[in-house]
Chain A
Amino acid sequence: MSAHGMGASPLQVKNLGRRKAVNRFMELLAWLAAAIAVAILGVVIYSVAKRGASELNLNLLTKAPIPFSLTDAPQGLANAFVGTLVVVGLATLMALPVGILVAIYLNEFAPASIRNGITMVLDVLNGVPAIVIGIFVYGLLVVGHGQSGWAGAFALACLMLPLVSRSTMEILALVPNSLREASLGLGVPQWRTTLSIILPQTIGGILTGTVLAVARVAGETAPLLLVCSLVGPQINWNPQHALQTIPVAIFELSESPDPADHARAWAAALVLLLFILFTSLGARWLANRSRRKIAAR
């Protein structure tokens, strides 16, 4: 009892035309969706590149801003670049060791229940909106003391921590157990095994995870707005004061009515975007390479 009719072609399938049309329509929609995503990306990057490139010059990086300037004296956003360097650098110094230690604890020591629990906590921390982290750090470090680069760094460190931990955990999990067994079997104590044998294997992965985390927070504005934004135009390296940062500078310039400010905002955005793109792509490429190296051992 077969369904095909005894027509000219043995492959007569009823409704096939309509079904194929629906299928083709859906395929078209999927192509369209992908095209839209690529187009959006293209438009945004093109806008930033076109408008930023014209204002992009060395002054941007080396000269401080001159607020309310009525002359053509060269000005730039040097204070923001310096501030970002300091704040993000300090944040990395805070987040990196803690993140690695957390990952070591969860992967090497913790029983399954604690590991699941703290992983969940890390995911929760990751999901806290950046502006709420800003409120938290404001209440913790700014109230009574005033804004500071330290507060900004701490806020960014809170954002980086889950990212560093998670990527370190992933890379630790890739290190084969045979390595641990071999070392423990020789009588090497566990702390030595972890620090001297396991960890060096993972340096590459940790590095890329950190770079990705840095790329992520380099553009983070919200918490800095609340804890590290009342700044003057001078170039300042001291984290005890609030320091200007690139994302906050972009934010403030974008809200200004002055087109010259807009131009500088585009230029800063271009630099920021280039930094993030290069580090993200580079880190991902490094991550794939290190992952393959470890897994192949």
Chain B
Amino acid sequence: MSTTIEPTVRVETRRTPMPPRERLESIFEVEGLDAIYGSKPAVKGVEMKVYKNLVTAIIGPSGCGKSTYIRCFNRMNDLIPGFRQEGTIRYHGQDICGSNVDPVAVRRMIGMVFQRPNPFPKSIHDNVSWGMKVLGIKDDVNERVERALTQAALWDEVKDRLKASALSLSGGQQQRLCIARAIAVEPDVVLMDEPASALDPIATKAIEELMHNLKDQYTFVIVTHNMQQAARVADMTAFFSISQGGEGQRYGELIEYDATEKIFTAPSDSRTEDYVTGRFG
């Protein structure tokens, strides 16, 4: 299918165009990943390469396992009893899903921002510095806090009240604080699970700007149910959808994964086309 289509979203020209495919360095290699709760699979058979210093979006209808999928990358699903995983995810070549790999070490490198802002009941400064201190980053704490808050586009708004409780911030500010908290410990990758879904458009824009600005330092993987957002921020987009299995069970499956522009203007799979043109989902 090489005819271009009329997507429902306008794909903006990349401000910093993606390097050609040969020069992309892969940071995650997902091979045959199945994520299963008890007996119900959430996603099956995912094969995907995530590239360094890009923003990769994961889109799809609700229930297709996007959140479950992204939580596999930092072993957060381990916290859920009854969860099981098959297949591998390689991070810089090392399988991070094995039982011999410590999730604590994985999470150190691969940070996460959650759907609802979840700042600690501490001051704004301590929210950012607590993780650093615990993880052993003890020098220049104040400078690092300032740098993280600046990168999260929050510094100007809070610089005079760093001792105030984080809970006194608005939702959008709290979410940016959570982002600052995550990048303060200098991870390699930042996973974002629908980070702006609880926020208004202005706060959403701030977060998208942030991702764009920090791309050269971190790799972002963002789950979003908002196609426009994916079109705006993502370099690569992965489309998941719900498939029906043999015994009638429904599970999520990776349908198509490509440069954002291609996904939205000339998708290869008809299911992708249906989704991005708004024919369903």
Contacts of A289 in B (CB 8 A): none
CA distance A14 to B93 in the complex (A): 20
Q: Let me know if B91 is at the binding interface, CB within 8 A.
A: yes
Q: Which of chain B's residues 86-126 have a Cβ closer than 8 Å to chain A?
A: 91-94, 96, 101-102, 104-106, 108-109
Map CB proximity to A onto B168-204 as digits: 1 under 8 Å, 0 otherwise: 0000000000000000011110000000000000000
CB-contact partner of A20 in B102, B136, B185, B188, under 8 A:
B102
Contacts of A3 in B (CB 8 A): 108-109, 185-188
Contacts of A189 in B (CB 8 A): none
Q: Let me know if A11 is at the binding interface, CB within 8 A.
A: yes
Q: Let me know if B165 is at the binding interface, CB within 8 A.
A: no
Contact (Cβ within 8 A) A2 B187: yes
Contacts of A13 in B (CB 8 A): 104-105, 108-109, 135
Residues of B in contact, count (CB < 8 Å): 20
Contact (Cβ within 8 A) B102 A16: yes
**With contacts defined as CB atoms under 8 Å apart, how many contacts are there between chain A and chain B in the complex?**
47
Contact (Cβ within 8 A) B94 A2: no
Q: Which of chain A's residues 1-31 have a Cβ closer than 8 Å to chain B?
A: 1-4, 9-11, 13-16, 19-20
CA distance A224 to B186 in the complex (A): 66
Contacts of A19 in B (CB 8 A): 104, 136
| Nearest CB in chain A: distance from B96 CB, A | 7
CA distance A10 to B91 in the complex (A): 8
Q: Let me know if B217 is at the binding interface, CB within 8 A.
A: yes
| Contact A4:B136 (CB < 8 A) given known A10-B94, A20-B104 | no
Contact (Cβ within 8 A) A2 B104: no
| Nearest CB in chain A: distance from B68 CB, A | 22
Contacts of A10 in B (CB 8 A): 91-94, 109, 188
Contact (Cβ within 8 A) B186 A1: yes
| Contact A11:B106 (CB < 8 A) given known A2-B187, A4-B188 | yes
CA distance A3 to B186 in the complex (A): 6
Contact (Cβ within 8 A) B136 A14: yes
| Nearest CB in chain A: distance from B147 CB, A | 10
CA distance A209 to B24 in the complex (A): 67
| Contact A15:B92 (CB < 8 A) given known A2-B187, A2-B188, A3-B186 | no
| Nearest CB in chain B: distance from A104 CB, A | 38
Contact (Cβ within 8 A) A4 B109: yes
CA distance A14 to B136 in the complex (A): 8
CA distance A2 to B187 in the complex (A): 6
Map CB proximity to A onto B197-241 as digits: 1 under 8 Å, 0 otherwise: 000000000000000000001100000000000000000000000
Closest chain A residue, CB of each to CB of B136:
A15
A-B complex: 10 closest residue pairs judged by Cβ atoms: A10-B92, A2-B188, A11-B105, A15-B136, A3-B186, A13-B108, A13-B105, A1-B217, A10-B94, A4-B109
A-B contact pairs, 16 of them (CB 8 A): A1-B186, A2-B186, A3-B186, A4-B188, A9-B94, A10-B92, A10-B94, A10-B188, A11-B96, A11-B101, A11-B105, A11-B109, A13-B104, A13-B108, A13-B109, A16-B104
Which of B's residues lie within 8 Å of A, judged by CB? Answer: 91-94, 96, 101-102, 104-106, 108-109, 135-136, 185-188, 217-218
Which of A's residues lie within 8 Å of B, judged by CB? Answer: 1-4, 9-11, 13-16, 19-20
Beyond A10-B92, A13-B135, 7 additional pairs, beta carbon < 8 A: A2-B109, A4-B188, A10-B94, A11-B96, A11-B101, A14-B136, A19-B136
